[in-house]
């Protein structure tokens, strides 16, 4: 066992010598409690612990080494991004990582070509298939008396939207009770059976719910269809721009790791760190 440990120590020493100042290996001359230094700015374990609690909330105390290792790397990269943006005069010292990332992307924004959009559409065409749907509206009331009054008004010829305005307490009431375009899979099975049997313009009987009574109206039946490339393009563009933006931000963080005097002291972390900021030979 001692021979194996000695070989690990030797490998770690050689790794530190090879990496030099680009990536500090071990606490070394870092002040007590400091787990990372970027340039002349120190970050203590308490800073990282606050980051974990903000990221994970109640799950922070139950997280294992693998999760904490990834979070430590993200913590370091977030600080590197802010440092990079500040050094380039894009943000001030109070900027958040989100602000830093956005400013960096403003300088080098994602660029998505039409050919990339076309390729994505061709490769994911099934993702743009839509099943049969209904455009659905709802009246929601608290008790049976109010529900029966609303139903009587509908049967007397009052417009469904007007009854919604007068009677409904649902959050969609200001929008005519519109629930959107829903497929069978979007609805509880029992409700789907009722709704998809209604004709366009027809409303349901009173349906009891845990929080009151509901009346549904099918405004329109929508057939199965596949979005065309033109219809799908805005969504695909947004998706690809977001993915490319994430890649650009990760690349900026990787660049900053090499550009600045980054030192880390992973042995000071109170969990078994197994990420890429450690000596890759240490776990062999």
Model confidence at 278, in pLDDT bands (50, 70, 90)?
Answer: low
Model confidence at 42, in pLDDT bands (50, 70, 90)?
Answer: very high
Which one, of 282, 239, 268, 236, lies nearest residue 72 by Cα? 268
Model confidence at 28, in pLDDT bands (50, 70, 90)?
Answer: low
Which one, of 112, 129, 113, 146, lies nearest residue 232 by Cα? 129
What pLDDT does residue 217 have? 98
136 and 163 in contact (C-beta within 8 Å)?
no
What pLDDT does residue 142 have? 92
Range 132-223 has CATH code 3.40.50.261? no
Q: Report domain extents, the chain.
A: 132-223
Higher per-residue confidence, 89 vs 18: 89
Residue 209 phi, psi dihedral angles, 5° rounding: -125, 170
133 and 183 in contact (C-beta within 8 Å)?
yes
What pLDDT does residue 284 have? 39
76 and 262 in contact (C-beta within 8 Å)?
yes
What pLDDT does residue 283 have? 36
Going along the chain, which residue ranges are E strands? Answer: 23-25, 34-38, 41-44, 129-130, 133-141, 178-183, 207-209, 212-222, 225-226, 262-264
**Is a pLDDT exceeding 70 seen at residue 107?**
yes
What pLDDT does residue 18 have? 34
**Is a pLDDT exceeding 50 seen at residue 95?**
yes
d(CA 130, CA 255): 42
d(CA 72, CA 100): 19
93 and 74 in contact (C-beta within 8 Å)?
no
For the segment 228-251, the average pLDDT, to the nearest whole number, is 95
What pLDDT does residue 209 have? 86
**Is a pLDDT exceeding 80 seen at residue 205?**
yes
What tens digit of pLDDT does each residue of 121-168 get?
A: 999 999 999 999 999 999 999 999 999 999 999 999 999 999 999 999
> If you average pLDDT over each of 256-260, 262-266, 279-283, which comes out highest?
262-266
**Is a pLDDT exceeding 60 seen at residue 15?**
no
For the segment 2-26, the average pLDDT, to the nearest whole number, is 40
Kindly report the three-state secondary structure assignment for every residue of 20-87: HHHEEECCCCCCCCEEEEECCEEEEHHHHHHHHHHHHHHHHHHCCHHHHHHHHHHHHHHHHHHHHHHH
For the segment 94-99, the average pLDDT, to the nearest whole number, is 91
**Is a pLDDT exceeding 90 seen at residue 60?**
no
Q: Rounded mean pLDDT of the chain?
A: 87
């Amino acid at each position: 066992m001692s021979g194996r440990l000695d070989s690990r120590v030797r490998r770690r020493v050689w790794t530190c010598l090879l990496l030099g100042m680009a990536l500090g290996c071990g606490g070394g001359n870092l002040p007590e409690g400091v787990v990372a230094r970027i340039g002349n700015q120190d970050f203590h374990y308490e800073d990282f612990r606050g980051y974990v609690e903000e990221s994970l909330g109640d799950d922070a105390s139950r997280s294992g080494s693998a999760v904490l290792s990834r979070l430590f790397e993200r913590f370091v990269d977030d600080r590197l991004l802010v440092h990079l943006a500040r050094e380039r005069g894009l943000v001030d010292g109070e900027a958040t990582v989100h602000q830093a990332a956005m400013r960096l992307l403003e300088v080098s924004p994602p660029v998505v070509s039409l050919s990339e959009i076309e390729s994505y559409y061709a490769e994911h065409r099934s993702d743009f298939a839509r099943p049969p749907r209904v455009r659905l509206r709802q009246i929601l009331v608290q008790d049976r008396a109010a529900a029966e009054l609303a139903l009587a008004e509908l049967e007397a010829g009052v417009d469904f939207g007007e009854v919604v305005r007068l009677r409904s307490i649902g959050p969609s009431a200001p929008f005519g009770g519109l629930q959107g375009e829903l497929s069978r899979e979007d609805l509880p099975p029992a409700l789907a059976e009722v709704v998809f049997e209604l004709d366009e313009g027809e409303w349901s009987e009173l349906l009891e719910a845990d929080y009151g009574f509901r009346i549904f109206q099918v405004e329109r039946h929508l057939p199965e269809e596949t979005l065309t490339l033109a219809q799908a393009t805005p969504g695909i563009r947004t998706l690809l721009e977001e993915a490319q933006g994430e890649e650009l931000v990760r690349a900026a963080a990787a660049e900053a790791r090499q550009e600045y005097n980054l030192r880390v002291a992973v042995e000071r972390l109170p969990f078994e760190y197994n990420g890429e900021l450690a000596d890759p030979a240490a776990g062999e």
